[in-house]
């Protein structure tokens, strides 16, 4: 069996997307969506393209280790397109079995020839055939020790992150977390309770041939297990649901906003938490959503309009700077869903682990502390402040909260378990909300609830 021209084109597209992810630090999901729409790919090719891009990114560390064993010069010094073509092809050879090895190699050689001529094609041919001839191992090394270097290759995570998670979660916890990160991310919806309920949405999806089940932790969550693109799902254009991860859906419960209150969402795009807050308030009150990005504000407004919400006011603003006087003492509740390293979202954004480095963690920690300091004057006495991130580093989570509480004695930490839905009360460590991919099958999420007592 040989690959069709469409499949060859898909492998070229995958290599081009991975090239941009590699060089420009672009997000794979955005590039994939653009390519799929522009190329008007059929379902089979769309599925293959998605598999090649995400699979290669998940296992890039293990793939690179294999390639470097079979190249005469370091992979990092190879032409960027060819480097990513080799990664895509090795992912096929190691993880996919529908295309014979010889066909996958031949496709790569032809694409390399079109890109750089005969010499480049010879290089690719030699590297891949050398791999096939000399390597009968799996995608992970056979070494049994638990050194950072071995774990980094075996679970395909950068060494600095392996070290950090060994310190945070211990050996077995870190292994389980990294293993979970290499699984596919589920598509989760949040039913718009102002227009429907979860049972009705599940029935609607089922009648239209979409397999979906209720989520375990969030009372409004629906886990979609089959179906088309999100905007093609029944109920999307009618505003019956919003795409939002299950752990993210629980953050609004920590805020516990009431109808007619005034709420500030300081870092709000794309608006998942903003719109959930408004729904839990029965769209009665005032939800001010800020974001530094004009495109982010547009997304918030679009989502609020589609969901039929009138209490949301989206404004472009930098939460790390001083707020206008009209904001001071104005809000009953403030949510800071802070800019973070995103290391809790590696199932859906595997490229993040290759883009981040320890200096990013330090820089983001300083920014998070600055934003928390800035929002303090906006909150009335007795008001509630919730700090959340979608990352799993102590530097951006517990340390930020501890530093804030030390500097702001007028705040006290409250136990998150007292505000979560009954089925989610166990997702607490100490007083903090902590969702973990390997324990809860959600994104990694952290949140702290604090009250301004003076």
Residues known to be catalytic: 390
Omega cis (within 30) before 148 = no
The CA distances from residue 19 to 15, 144, 299, 351, in Å, are: 6, 33, 27, 12
**C-alpha to C-alpha distance for 275 and 233, rounded to whole angstroms:** 19
Which residues have a Cβ under 8 Å from the Cβ of 280 and sit 6 or more positions away?
193, 252, 253, 257
210 touches 384 (CB < 8 A): no
Secondary structure (3-state) at 333: strand
What's the CA angle centered on 132, arms 129 and 133, to 5 degrees? 85
Among 119, 95, 94, 93, residue whose Cα is nearest residue 107: 93
Nearest to 246 by CA among 276, 226, 216: 216
Among 270, 251, 269, which residue's Cα sits nearest to residue 386? 251
- State the helix-helix crossing angle for 80-95 and 43-58, rounded to 10 degrees: 100
């Amino acid at each position: 069996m040989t690959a069709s021209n469409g499949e060859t084109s898909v492998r070229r597209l995958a290599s081009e997307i991975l090239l941009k992810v590699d060089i420009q630090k672009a997000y794979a999901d955005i590039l994939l969506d653009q390519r799929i729409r522009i190329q008007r790919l059929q379902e089979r090719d769309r599925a293959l393209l998605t598999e090649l891009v995400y699979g290669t990114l998940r296992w890039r560390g293990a793939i690179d280790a294999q390639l470097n064993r079979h190249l005469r010069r370091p992979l990092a010094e190879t032409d960027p397109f060819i480097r990513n073509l080799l990664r895509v092809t090795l992912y096929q050879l190691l993880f996919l079995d529908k295309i014979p090895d010889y066909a996958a190699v031949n496709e790569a050689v032809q694409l390399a020839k079109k890109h750089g001529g005969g010499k480049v094609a010879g290089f690719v041919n030699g590297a891949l055939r050398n791999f096939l001839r000399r390597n009968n191992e799996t995608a992970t090394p056979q070494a049994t020790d638990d050194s950072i270097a071995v774990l980094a290759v075996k679970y395909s995570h950068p060494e600095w992150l392996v070290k950090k998670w060994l310190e945070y979660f211990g050996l077995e916890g870190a292994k389980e977390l990294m293993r979970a990160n290499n699984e596919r991310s589920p598509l989760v919806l949040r039913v718009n309770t102002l227009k429907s309920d979860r049972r009705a949405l599940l029935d609607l999806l089922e009648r239209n041939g979409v397999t979906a089940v209720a989520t375990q932790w969030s009372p409004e969550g629906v886990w979609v297990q089959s179906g088309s693109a999100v905007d093609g799902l029944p109920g999307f254009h009618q505003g019956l649901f919003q795409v939002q991860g299950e752990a993210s859906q629980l953050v609004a419960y920590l805020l516990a906003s009431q109808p007619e209150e005034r709420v500030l969402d300081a870092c709000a795009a794309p608006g998942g938490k903003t719109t959930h807050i408004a729904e839990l308030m029965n769209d009665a009150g005032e939800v001010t959503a800020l974001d530094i990005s004009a495109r982010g504000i547009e997304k918030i407004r679009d989502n609020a309009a589609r969901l039929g919400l009138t209490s949301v006011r989206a404004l472009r603003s930098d939460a790390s700077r001083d707020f206008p006087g009209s904001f001071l003492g104005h809000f009953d509740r403030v949510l800071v869903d802070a800019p973070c390293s995103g290391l809790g979202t590696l199932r859906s954004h595997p490229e993040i682990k290759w883009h981040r480095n320890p200096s990013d963690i330090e820089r983001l920690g300083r920014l998070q502390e600055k934003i928390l300091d800035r929002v303090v004057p906006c909150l009335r006495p007795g008001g509630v402040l919730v700090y959340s991130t979608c990352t799993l580093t102590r530097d951006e989570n517990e340390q930020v909260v501890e530093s804030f509480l030390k500097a702001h004695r007028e705040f006290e930490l409250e136990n998150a378990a007292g505000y979560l839905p009954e089925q989610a009360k166990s997702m607490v460590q100490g007083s903090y909300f902590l969702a973990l991919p390997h324990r809860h099958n959600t994104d990694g999420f952290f949140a702290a609830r604090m009250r301004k007592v003076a």
